[in-house]
Amino acid sequence: MRSPNDPRHLRRRKIVQLLFEWQFRGQEIADKRIVDLVSNLTKIDGIITLNAPEFPIEKIANMDLAVLRLAVFELLIEKREPPKAIIDEAIELAKEFGGETSPEFINGVLGKIIK
């Protein structure tokens, strides 16, 4: 993992928090990266559903869903960083924000996606 103070980690952390908040409030978003992510939400959620069929979107914990959405966006739409780095970051965010089984769940879904 990168340093917890790495600007990229801090930026991802902020995006996950904003996505989590957006899931409840649905308010306007000023951040361009989040706007881009939300505009691709149907595609992103379809990919998550395809790779985690036993967990419907509405049954995935909201924080896990925010982490997964960001990771899928970075993996398949932005494609700016190596998949391993994106997955490692997603797992770290899951450890930080998710439940006890979140890191394993997110690793499993993202692993299926990159295969």
Span of 1-10, 31-40, 94-103, 106-115 with lowest mean pLDDT: 1-10
How confident is the model at residue 2, as a pLDDT?
60
Q: How confident is the model at residue 6 (pLDDT cuts 50, 70, 90)?
A: confident
How confident is the model at residue 16, as a pLDDT?
93
* Sequence spans of domains, the chain: 7-114
pTM (predicted TM-score): 0.91
pLDDT tens digits for range 97-114 = 999 999 999 999 999 999
Chain-centroid distance of CA 114 in Å reads 14
DSSP-assigned states of every residue in 66-104: HHHHHHHIIIIII--S-HHHHHHHHHHHHHHHS-TTHHH
* CATH 2.40.40.20 holds for 7-114: no
